[in-house]
Amino acid sequence: PDAALRERMVSAHARQPDGKVVPITFEFPTDADFVMGGGGLVSTGPDYLRFTRMLLGGGTLDGVQVLKPETVALMRQNHIGAIDVPTLFKSDNPAMALTAELLPGVTKKWGLSFLLNAEPLPTGRGAYSMAWAGVHNTFFWVDPARGVAAVLMMQLLPANDQAALDTLIRYEVALYQALARGV
């Protein structure tokens, strides 16, 4: 990002050993030795939600086709067959990410670009929803079965911070409970 964009960016934060959250200086490398996938993606919360709404709309947003419906359908299909995505996310750099058990007890698969929960979640999320997360405890999922596109951005290191994961669960449960009430 250029200087003008950096001025608009939300500060990164980190949880200290005493539990306090403090602002930190953090920048993704611009000259990395490898392609980082989503690393360094810069967007606004509203624009990121528009992206998820486009996926929820089968590739179309506000009457504009961005992706073909069959492309989005392929993204939601299991592309690893009988192999399951491991539940334990292991980290050797606790300043960046903590080892965590993600969606324990739930069969997980890989689609094209997204993690898929192969069965409904206790939170209310439907099976074969598309999801991913970022290192700063940013999360999104697209649940076509329930008509939900959701984004939660925290800008907090390390990834898999327990309080952040607890917030994600509470957010997801509250969202689906509100849907059930017709809110």
- Judging by DSSP bridges, how do beta strands 156-157 and 12-15 pair with one another? parallel
- DSSP reduced 3-state for 148: strand
For 8-16, the CB contacts below 8 A with 24+ separation are 9/42, 10/153, 10/155, 11/155, 12/136, 12/155, 12/156, 12/157, 13/155, 13/156, 13/157, 14/95, 14/156, 14/157, 14/158, 15/156, 15/157, 15/158, 15/161, 15/163
pLDDT digits (tens, 9 = 90+) for 100-137: 998 999 999 999 989 999 999 999 999 999 999 988 99
Residue 140 confidence (pLDDT) above 90: yes
User: Which has more confidence, 81 or 32?
Assistant: 81
pLDDT of amino acid 57: 98
d(CA 169, CA 141): 12
β partners of residue 108: 117
Work out the angle at residue 86's Cα, subtended by the Cα atoms of residues 91 and 102, and round it to the nearest 5 degrees.
65
Length of the chain: 183
CA distances 26 to 98, 136, 158, 162, Å, are 17, 10, 12, 21
pLDDT of amino acid 10: 86
Structural domain spans, the chain: 3-181
Residue 151 confidence (pLDDT) above 90: yes
pLDDT digits (tens, 9 = 90+) for 23-70: 998 876 666 666 655 566 778 889 999 999 999 999 999 999 999 999
- Homologous superfamily assigned to 3-181: DD-peptidase/beta-lactamase superfamily (3.40.710.10)
pLDDT digits (tens, 9 = 90+) for 169-183: 999 999 999 999 998
pLDDT of amino acid 8: 84
pLDDT of amino acid 4: 84
- Who's near 49: CB < 8 A, 6+ residues apart? 149, 151
pLDDT of amino acid 17: 87
pLDDT of amino acid 39: 63
pTM of the model: 0.90
Phi and psi angles of residue 168, each rounded to the nearest 5 degrees, phi first: -60, -45
Reported confidence tier of residue 138, pLDDT bands at 50, 70, 90 = very high
User: Which has more confidence, 2 or 4?
Assistant: 4
d(CA 68, CA 178): 31
